[in-house]
Structure 1
């Protein structure tokens, strides 16, 4: 109990979840204290069951069935339960001692009962607890060697019928169905544990298919069935390890499952987890089947992924490259993936060759993967090949002619000490685009964006005046030129403010007030404050019904 402290709760949950947990103190109910654990219900968007473990090997820990908690996180609901218990510290030791006494009393009482009395008690419980009855029915069928009964029971457990309305399990019933389906996992694991692992293997594979079929008709928004699928994957691996099935047959099934041939895309099984079961013979068969599948469909995602996993597991970089090289993306992305694999293998010259090939083989440089261009330019700079970096940035800018490639060309050219010449050429292209009304990020000419980014305000103003500009560009221009062009920028601000006076909404009002502050500054610079006073007076008269606007103007002294 020493571990149950505010500092430990905050450390486990993090500051954000800890603070949010404070808001759930009134939502904690049904607190039960056991020997080493505390459980409760916490009512949030749903009712969640939480349990704190006090004496675990790692100290304080907890579990919650909320989505965040199911991912292994110490959530706000656990924080709420912990803080609730800390608020009544004097009662916790007493309650825990009482739980220990109850457990000892119960154990003593059960030990004193006769076999017939215990059977009667168990039968009574089976009449009330359907889940317990189902688990024991499967165990009984397994113990007497009735595999048909076990199979039938597992099919019943995975049947959505009792939970489905109109053939579909709604969100509210998905958890209950998942709890029932989880019993199928327990039944299969029990079969393996009883020494019948060879019989468990076909059963778990059938269960995987049934679960995959069921998920199509279940609103599994919280991922409950995914957890059941994980349980089935573990049960299959355990059964295979216990039964040592034929390596060739297992390899064939694993490859088929990885390629989706089993119809089960819910259970995530990694063939490499079975390396100890497959042995040398089975792994050879697995690789052979994977290669055959990939050769038959080199563009298949599953085939490529399986081949890549096997190649990486065997540290076979050339095989990894062969997989990627068989289906090169037209934008050079695959070339970049290969280059990075070669970098990892310390084969940097080959990596550079593949990156350069990716740029050469890209039919449309405007569509090239920009990460490939960045990678290649970085390599050029590292090798002091500044001219090559500039040439690539120049070509890329020439193909795309947007602000970002312009900025990247500027960076490369400055490093190579040739920006003035490159800038003139780049701006010439942008001037030609402006004449043809090619637009930039705000809808106006890229030329204006580039000149603004260069801090060449006068040139940008001239370009906007000659070729037009988007309102956002004009606003940026006005903000940057206000000190030197107060009369010109005043006209811009007034023009931009006019349409806002016809709109409503707090965001509009904030934008309008910002423009009014700029208009006031222009009048101050021009020495015409009385004109601004008249402008604002007329505006307030016309807009007086907009109370939020009036309040905002008052706050800014307008």
Structure 2
């Protein structure tokens, strides 16, 4: 086990990454380059599909942290590239303390040198850096324009930063170009904040609204699979809210802009919530929001955005009856809306009204094959708490008869057992499933629920009687697996038939399944005392399929 002069060891890396990523990281040790040790971090480049930049913290009370710009790392995972850099650090562990001390010396030396420079020398240094770094120059130009209130230049620069065309190929910003565009959007957000900090919050409000519209128009043409652009766009939206909080724009105009944005085609990018602006809007602005939302709802009663906006406003007002009335205008067939109303009434301390809505939902969805299971569970839980087991069983029975699924059968069984009525309910349920059971089906997932229910009950004798001409291959194998000890001859017949079905298909998964079936065949022969019959059977099978070398390797691996 490696020592821990750097604050972590292999165990910590494995725990952070998981076994799979840790093992894969071992294969990237030779791909690590440019290892740079700082005071409290290490950076390096790992060559994978692309060259990925990795940064690890070094120890401390929170342990090692890792950051990588590969897709998996950008989701917040400690990836294989982080593992490779961590293991590289551990290989050089004895040198790390000296390198960290050297980094601290360099940092303090740089600070002392900068402090000692005169104003002219500092200006010359900055000009030198600006001349050689386009991004740095652009950021400083934007800060300078904001500082001198050159609003025309700030506007031009911000809108230029939001222009996706330099990153687009064939009119579309592809996945690998999205992080670069996101960095520019973040620059725009920083510039908007700088405007507000410089006493130009009113200008920042207007410019932020322009920026949000531009981003909304561009976002649909960006592959933002990792969400990096979305995070930067959210920063622009936050800058708008911050500017409004300082500038206090006309509340009615702000309300009109917010409603227009939410109901327009641009909110996918920012996902603005008008209620975040409640403090800025005040009573007048919120009232205008409500008025505009109601008008939009009347114009488009089925519109998703219109419904969402109205629901958010009514919910914020705390008027439960108004919210229930709003939800009741659009009851979905699955019963999900009924459940939502019941939950709102429960939260308001009105359990009787809540249950009444749940019961209405069950009535409205009676006979529907697809009902929100949470509604059924809600009503059953309420009845169970009240000791109303008969009603719980009735609900589960109705849902079972409508769905005819194994899950519904299990739920009916649990409720009926609790009520001491399972024997009667089971007979009726199996009779219903027996009517549905298809005849002469074949394949892997086409068998009747009847067989699944019998297997789930452990009623193997009945399952064997009902399986003939009905069960699918999956159910036959499950039946054989459960009966191998008690009915080895019947199980053997099933396994031999399934082996025959797997002679034609190829592939490693097929071969593994075939090997497991052969092991089952051998177990049945042992239980029957006919193991001598298995040896020539296996030899004949191997001779028949001998050209499949991968299969032979798999069989050898299983001792066959």
Could you state the TM-score of these two structures normalised by the residue count of structure 1? 0.86
Which secondary structure state, in structure 1, belongs to the residue aligned with residue 269 of structure 2?
Answer: coil
Match of 1:184 among 178, 182, 188: 188
Q: Give the distance between the partners of 1:54 and 1:527, measured in 2 at CA.
A: 64
Match of 2:475 among 459, 469, 473: 473
> In the TM superposition, what are the counterparts of 1:52-67 in structure 2 within 5 Å?
64-67=68-71
Tell me what 1:514 maps to: 516
Tell me what 1:277 maps to: 280
Per-residue CA deviation, residues 130-169 of structure 1 (Å, 9 max, x unaligned), is: 2233233334444554433322222222223433344333
Tell me what 2:536 maps to: 534
- CA contact 1:34–1:99 (8 Å) conserved in 2: no
Q: Give the distance between the partners of 2:383 and 2:268, measured in 1 at CA.
A: 44
Which secondary structure state, in structure 1, belongs to the residue aligned with residue 34 of structure 2?
Answer: strand
- CA contact 2:40–2:100 (8 Å) conserved in 1: no
**Alpha-carbon distance change, 128 to 185 in structure 1, aligned in 2, over 3 angstroms:** same
Match of 1:147 among 126, 146, 151: 151
Tell me what 2:247 maps to: 243
- CA contact 1:13–1:74 (8 Å) conserved in 2: no
Tell me what 1:256 maps to: 260
Q: Give the distance between the partners of 1:443 and 1:28, measured in 2 at CA.
A: 52
Tell me what 1:304 maps to: 307
Which secondary structure state, in structure 2, belongs to the residue aligned with residue 367 of structure 1?
Answer: coil
Q: Give the distance between the partners of 1:522 and 1:12, measured in 2 at CA.
A: 42
Q: Give the distance between the partners of 2:472 and 2:114, measured in 1 at CA.
A: 81
> Is 1:460 aligned to residue 463 of structure 2?
yes
Per-residue deviation, 1:357: 0.5
Q: Give the distance between the partners of 2:56 and 2:552, measured in 1 at CA.
A: 54
Q: Which segment is superposed worse, 315-324 or 35-44? A: 35-44
> Is 1:30 aligned to residue 30 of structure 2?
no
Q: Give the distance between the partners of 2:518 and 2:77, measured in 1 at CA.
A: 49
Per-residue deviation, 1:335: 0.9
> In the TM superposition, what are the counterparts of 1:477-496 in structure 2 within 5 Å?
477-496=479-498
Q: Give the distance between the partners of 2:435 and 2:335, measured in 1 at CA.
A: 29
Q: Give the distance between the partners of 2:470 and 2:297, measured in 1 at CA.
A: 55
- CA contact 1:403–1:440 (8 Å) conserved in 2: no
- CA contact 1:28–1:80 (8 Å) conserved in 2: yes
Per-residue deviation, 1:360: 0.5
Match of 1:92 among 94, 99, 107: 99
- CA contact 2:6–2:97 (8 Å) conserved in 1: no
Could you state the TM-score of these two structures normalised by the residue count of structure 2? 0.86
Per-residue CA deviation, residues 302-329 of structure 1 (Å, 9 max, x unaligned), is: 2333333334444443343333222111
Per-residue CA deviation, residues 23-64 of structure 1 (Å, 9 max, x unaligned), is: 455554434455666544444443344556679998986755
Per-residue CA deviation, residues 374-430 of structure 1 (Å, 9 max, x unaligned), is: 222222222111111111222222222222222222221111111222222222222
- CA contact 1:240–1:277 (8 Å) conserved in 2: yes
- CA contact 1:38–1:52 (8 Å) conserved in 2: yes
Q: Give the distance between the partners of 2:438 and 2:219, measured in 1 at CA.
A: 58
Q: Cα RMSD over matched residues? A: 3.5
Tell me what 1:505 maps to: 507
- CA contact 1:439–1:445 (8 Å) conserved in 2: no
Per-residue deviation, 1:15: 5.3
Q: Give the distance between the partners of 1:485 and 1:41, measured in 2 at CA.
A: 62
Tell me what 1:212 maps to: 216
> Is 1:344 aligned to residue 347 of structure 2?
yes
> Is 1:401 aligned to residue 401 of structure 2?
no
Per-residue deviation, 1:464: 1.9
Q: Which segment is superposed worse, 49-58 or 511-520? A: 49-58
Q: Give the distance between the partners of 2:506 and 2:13, measured in 1 at CA.
A: 46
- CA contact 1:449–1:473 (8 Å) conserved in 2: yes
- CA contact 2:444–2:472 (8 Å) conserved in 1: no
Gaps of 5+ in 2: none
**Alpha-carbon distance change, 270 to 66 in structure 1, aligned in 2, over 3 angstroms:** farther
Q: Give the distance between the partners of 1:304 and 1:293, measured in 2 at CA.
A: 9
Which secondary structure state, in structure 1, belongs to the residue aligned with residue 437 of structure 2?
Answer: helix
Which secondary structure state, in structure 2, belongs to the residue aligned with residue 366 of structure 1?
Answer: coil
Match of 1:200 among 198, 204, 223: 204
Q: Give the distance between the partners of 2:48 and 2:326, measured in 1 at CA.
A: 48
Which secondary structure state, in structure 1, belongs to the residue aligned with residue 330 of structure 2?
Answer: coil
**Alpha-carbon distance change, 12 to 239 in structure 1, aligned in 2, over 3 angstroms:** farther
- CA contact 1:3–1:60 (8 Å) conserved in 2: no
Match of 1:433 among 431, 436, 455: 436
Per-residue CA deviation, residues 150-194 of structure 1 (Å, 9 max, x unaligned), is: 222222222234333443334443333333333322322222221
